[in-house]
Amino acid sequence: MNPKEGKLLIVDDNEDLLKAAKLFLKRHFAQVDVEKNPEIIPNLLNNEQYDVILLDMNFTRDVSSGSEGFFWLNRILQIDPSAVVVMITAYGDVQMAVRAIKEGAADFVVKPWENEKLLATLWAAMNLRQSKQEVSDLRSQQKVMMADINKNFSEIIGQSSAMMKVYETIEQIAKTDANILILGENGTGKEVVARAIHRRSARTDKVFISVDMGAITESLFDSELFGHVKGSFTDAKEDRAGRFEVATGGSLFLDELGNLSLPLQAKLLTVLQNREVRRVGSNKSKPIDVRLICATNMPIYDMVKQNKFRQDLLYRVNTIELHLPPLRERGDDIQLLAMHYLEYYSKKYTKTIATISPAAMKKMQNYQWAGNVRELQHTMERAVIMSNKNVLQPEDLFLNARPASANKEEESLAIEQMNLEDVEKILIRKVLKKYNGNITQAATELGLTRSSLYRRLEKFGM
């Protein structure tokens, strides 16, 4: 900010001081207002927004204690919490100056002052005011952005009995700081639920950091989660905080937790036990304060039995478990979700599609939705883009046709004996076959990232 653009208010009972200060400072500030009666301060602040307020510590009826100055400092900050106040004292009382700064003053000057020192102090205060304003603007922007995000997709949609149980659990656990493990198939909305828990928690004004554990390579795990210092490895061009540090004070969501290898599980467990992290290349530990929410679509308890997942880590992350039902168990919600996405994508793509025909809705309700809510969302987006009708019809819905009979691989596995990995392998093979081995298209169909699909292919030896 150019100081010549700044607005300055000086409040002091010494008229000579006010005249001298205004004469000097009006050459450096766009506006310099002076006032000897502090009782006028509320009216001045209601009519003008000052960049810096220069306030006397002592007025006529209280010459040396500074109590009037403290009173008016607190009154100014009540009226405008972002106000930048520089206190004036004739006595150079260090204790009084320290108290003033503790109570919200930006700085202090001792009179009689040197003009250059006074000017330097006021310029620094101007910069502080600008920084406060920028932070305030950023917070306002963030609130607007978050409100928009929440309005569009971040609220959970569903009125089925299965979802009512989920809502009840969220309300019970959100206000606590207990670690939460969300279990559910791909596309059931685990991150949406995690965000809902964060928004209803005492940490709602702090950050929500989401980490896809399945997308982090072993070599970058420490750097991404715990941070690094400059020069700790080839690409470490500068100091960088890890996700745990960034999330301190807020919530940290670790998705696809079941994909972590045993060595990485051990590292994560150590951090959760000690509640501190150490950046790569540093010998100093930093305390962390996060509300931990984890999620996985893997059969985590089977993995513990198979020694693929640490039992002590499971105990650490699942103080409370929350199971999300698949969409096929939420039949009452399909129409609600479909209409929600129809309205959203119709606005997004400027289409005038009023509703969904009964036949099309029946087609969706009879479909199994292997990709759950995420698959339904993609289906509705594609239908809105491709349709030129006012009402969506069955032919507008590109759903995977179910085979008339199970293939040989499915026949060889009795349904009651199949575990989640068996089903996952069959589904991946089908989708890869459908897209002739195209990983990108298959991953999109399955609701996975390319890296997540590659890891599953490697895991299943496919």
Q: Give the Cα separation of 368 and 371 in Å (integer).
A: 9
Does residue 56 contact residue 22 with C-beta atoms inside 8 Å? no
Q: Which string of DSSP letters, residue by residue, matches 313-332?
A: HHHHH-SEEEEPPPGGG-GG
pLDDT of the residue at 381: 93
- Tell me the per-residue pLDDT of 440-455, one tens digit each, with 9 for 90 and over: 778 888 877 777 787 7
Among residues of the chain, what percentage have pLDDT more than 70? Answer: 87
Q: Are 51 and 4 in contact (CB under 8 A)?
A: no
Least confident of 75-84, 292-301, 400-409, 425-434: 400-409
Q: Which of 19-28, 107-116, 246-255 has the lowest mean pLDDT?
A: 107-116
Per-residue pLDDT of 77-94, as tens digits, reads: 888 888 899 988 876 666
pLDDT of residue 56: 87
User: Which range, of 131-140, 209-218, 298-307, 362-371, averages the lowest pLDDT?
Assistant: 131-140
Average pLDDT of the chain is 84
Section 342-358 average pLDDT: 93
- Minimum mean pLDDT range among 53-67, 71-85, 197-211, 383-397: 53-67
Other beta carbons within 10 Å of 201: 20
* Cis-peptide into 112, omega within 30 deg: yes
More confident residue, 286 or 412: 286
Name which of 150-159, 248-257, 302-311 the model is least confident about.
150-159
pTM over cut 0.75: no
Query: 32 vs 81, which has greater pLDDT?
Result: 32
pLDDT at 401: 58
Q: Do domains 163-325 and 328-396 have the same CATH topology?
A: no
The whole-number average pLDDT for the span 120-144 is 75
- The pLDDT assigned to 215 comes to 86
Residue with the larger pLDDT of the pair 359 and 58:
359
Q: Which of 367, 370, 379, 368 is nearest to 340 (CA)?
A: 379
Contact call for residues 364 and 334 (beta carbons, < 8 A): yes
Q: CATH fold of 328-396, please?
A: Helicase, Ruva Protein; domain 3 (1.10.8)
Domain 408-460 -> CATH class: mainly alpha
Non-local CB neighbours of 425 within 8 Å, separated by 6+ positions? 460, 462
Q: What is d(CA 13, CA 183) in angstroms, rounded to the nearest whole number?
A: 68
Asked whether the beta carbons of 211 and 245 are under 8 A apart, the reply is no
**Cβ neighbours of residue 24 under 8 Å, at least 6 residues apart?**
115, 118
Q: With 50 as the cut, is the pLDDT of residue 413 above it?
A: no
Confidence check: pLDDT of 131 > 60: yes
Q: Please, which pLDDT band fits residue 235 given cuts at 50, 70 and 90?
A: confident
pLDDT > 90? residue 434: no
* 237 three-class SS: coil
- Taking residues 189-204, report their average pLDDT: 92
Q: Where are the alpha helices (DSSP H) in 200-332?
A: 221-226, 243-247, 262-274, 300-305, 311-317
* Range with the largest mean pLDDT of 107-116, 194-203, 415-424: 194-203
Is it the case that residue 175 has pLDDT exceeding 60? yes
Q: Which DSSP letter does residue 437 get?
A: T
- Which segment of 3-7, 10-14, 97-101, 269-273 scores lowest on mean pLDDT? 3-7
- The phi, psi pair for 413, rounded to 5°, reads -115, 110
* Residue 65: predicted pLDDT: 60
Q: Does 250 or 452 have the greater pLDDT score? A: 250
Is 260 a residue whose pLDDT tops 50?
yes
Q: Confirm if 166 and 322 have CB atoms less than 8 A apart.
A: yes
Domain 3-134 carries which CATH code?
3.40.50.2300
Q: Thinking of the domain 163-325, which architecture would CATH place it in?
A: 3-Layer(aba) Sandwich (3.40)
pLDDT higher for 400 or 371? 371
Q: Which DSSP helix (H) or strand (E) runs through 135? A: helix 115-149
Percent of the chain residues past pLDDT 90, beyond the cut:
48
- Segment 129-135 shows an average pLDDT of 78
**DSSP character string of 326-354:** PGGG-GGGHHHHHHHHHHHHHHHTT----
Element (H, E) at 141: helix 115-149
Q: Please tell me the predicted confidence (pLDDT) of residue 95.
A: 74
What ranges do the domains of the chain cover? 3-134, 163-325, 328-396, 408-460
Residue 264, exposed/middle/buried by CB under 10 A (0-12, 13-18, 19+)? middle
